Amino acid sequence: MSGPIKTTFLGARGIIPSRRAATAVEFAIIGAVFFLFIFGIFVISIDQFWQMTLDDAVRATTRQVQIGKVVNGAEFVTAVCGEFGIAAPYCTNTLQYSVQSASTFGGLTPAILSSSGTLTPASTFNVTPTTAPAAATQSQPAVIGAPQFLLVQVAYLLPFKILIAPGGVATENGTPSLYSAVATVMEP
């Protein structure tokens, strides 16, 4: 007979897998989803900040058009990008605008924002300046001319796209462009 037979039993470590490996797998599954969620919040927050900044810049510039301080397209782009350009790169190169006035709102033809994010017609500035009212005399009241209505539309193509997310998720308009519009009455 040869020597005694050695029997080895698998202890608890051999049957139960290591907890460190399970933690790494759990983190790989949950961590990827968590970081994707945080990244999505970050991107949507930046887009919302840009939208609010564009809205404020367009409102302020529309006011300048209303009172006659901005009278052409170059001045319009300079005024909008002066406020919005700090937050958004390449503003003067990618800003699309349509500024028009008419004697009635029905006389205005709104520009159309396509699904690719382009404003058609873009880069148009067609504003008829209003005339100051005639001064009142002792025998006649002041004569105020017909009001001029103003429609301002602006689109800014975002400088980046998230390929995983459907187009227009962050811009809320279904396109890769931020869009802002203001309709008001011109002041004499």
Domain assignment present for residue 43? The answer is: yes
3-state class percentages of the chain: helix first, strand second, coil last, to nearest 5: 40, 20, 45
**What is the helix (H) or strand (E) element at residue 177, kind and residue range?**
strand 177-185
pLDDT of res. 180: 93
Provide the mean pLDDT of the chain: 80
Domain assignment present for residue 6? The answer is: no
Domain assignment present for residue 1? The answer is: no
Structure-token pair, residue 118:
């382009």
Beta strands, E only, 45-148: 95-102, 112-113, 119-120, 124-126
pLDDT in tens, 96-106: 999 999 888 88
Tell me how many helices (H) and strands (E) the chain has. Answer: 4, 6
Domain that residue 124 falls in? 19-134+144-185
Q: Is 80 exceeded by the pLDDT of residue 179?
A: yes
Domain assignment present for residue 40? The answer is: yes
pLDDT in tens, 117-154: 889 988 889 887 665 555 666 676 655 666 788 999 99
Domain assignment present for residue 44? The answer is: yes
Structure-token pair, residue 23:
């933690």
Give dist(CA 144, CA 185) in Å, integer.
14
Amino acid letter, residue 65? V
Give dist(CA 50, CA 170) in Å, integer.
11
| Nearest CA-CA partner of 100 in 82, 83, 121, 117 | 121
Domain assignment present for residue 28? The answer is: yes
Domain assignment present for residue 2? The answer is: no
**Terminal Cα-to-Cα distance of the chain (whole angstroms):** 119
pLDDT of res. 48: 84
Amino acid letter, residue 128? T
| Nearest CA-CA partner of 185 in 137, 150, 141, 140 | 150
Domain assignment present for residue 3? The answer is: no
Give dist(CA 148, CA 132) in Å, integer.
12
Q: How many structural domains compose the chain?
A: 1
